[in-house]
């Protein structure tokens, strides 16, 4: 029986790393990805007990070139990509959109929108040739239209991601490729700590119930 091959963007830490470890525990082959060689190597060291079933590629998945590199390397190492998860995402300080500098705006838009759009199209084209495969995009705050002052830009990208994924799935319904979203529950990560302010336990308890109204899809990522 052929092992399921999984690629997860932004998987050197946080939710992405947790997903990678869960897939490995299920016997899958996993390609992890960090934005730098340092973060990617650290993740690989933490997963070294899984041997050659885990590989890693340092690539900027907010741009097409980085995604193409990740995809090519996955095909080279595994021969095929069965599951591709666009998990990488950037947030920003909790402040009105007009107070964010242009560089921050560009980085969030490129990673959360451009990265997901290209990160869906690139693996889809290869999967469509085989008539099978699964692509999942990670939802987040704002996906359901919920609003919070200071989170307009991030929420906009996640709302758009949800629309894109559902519409793309509709267009691809006859391809044999499954395209959908993953909606995690609240997970304490560096991104969450930055979002809620000072990152203290008190701040998390105070703001998290208002900020995060996601629905946990239990074990939805174990779709091997």
State yes or no: is 154 an active-site residue. Answer: yes
With 0-12 CB in 10 A as exposed, 13-18 as middle and 19+ as buried, what is 203?
middle
Long-range contacts from 12-16, C-beta under 8 angstroms, 24+ separation: 12/39, 12/40, 12/42, 12/43, 12/56, 13/39, 13/43, 13/189, 13/190, 14/187, 14/189, 14/190, 14/191, 15/87, 15/138, 15/184, 15/187, 15/189, 16/85, 16/87, 16/88
Q: Given 50, 154, 163, 221, which residue is catalytic? A: 154
Reading the block at residue 199, the tokens are 């990152």
CA 9 – CA 74 distance, rounded (Å): 12
CA 193 – CA 172 distance, rounded (Å): 36
CA 100 – CA 62 distance, rounded (Å): 19
Q: By the 8 A CB rule, do 146 and 155 touch?
A: yes
Residues involved in catalysis: 154
């Amino acid at each position: 029986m052929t092992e399921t091959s999984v690629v997860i963007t932004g998987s050197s830490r946080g939710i992405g790393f947790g997903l990678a470890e869960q897939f490995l525990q299920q016997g899958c082959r996993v390609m992890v990805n960090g934005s730098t060689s340092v973060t990617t190597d650290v993740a690989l060291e933490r997963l070294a007990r899984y041997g050659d079933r885990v590989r890693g590629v340092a690539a900027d998945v907010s741009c097409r070139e980085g995604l193409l590199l990740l995809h090519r390397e996955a095909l080279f190492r595994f021969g095929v990509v069965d599951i591709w998860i666009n998990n990488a995402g950037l947030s920003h300080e909790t402040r009105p959109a007009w107070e964010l500098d242009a560089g921050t705006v560009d980085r969030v838009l490129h990673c959360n929108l451009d990265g997901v759009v290209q990160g869906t199209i690139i693996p889809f084209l290869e999967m469509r040739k085989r008539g099978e495969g699964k692509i999942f995009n990670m939802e987040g705050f704002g996906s359901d239209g919920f609003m919070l002052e200071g989170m307009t830009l991030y929420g906009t990208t996640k709302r758009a991601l949800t629309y894109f994924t559902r519409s793309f799935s509709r267009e691809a319904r006859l391809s044999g490729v499954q395209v959908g979203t993953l909606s995690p529950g609240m997970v304490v990560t560096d991104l969450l700590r930055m979002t809620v302010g000072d990152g203290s336990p008190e701040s998390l308890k105070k703001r998290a119930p208002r900020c995060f109204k996601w629905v946990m899809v239990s074990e939805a990522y174990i779709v091997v």
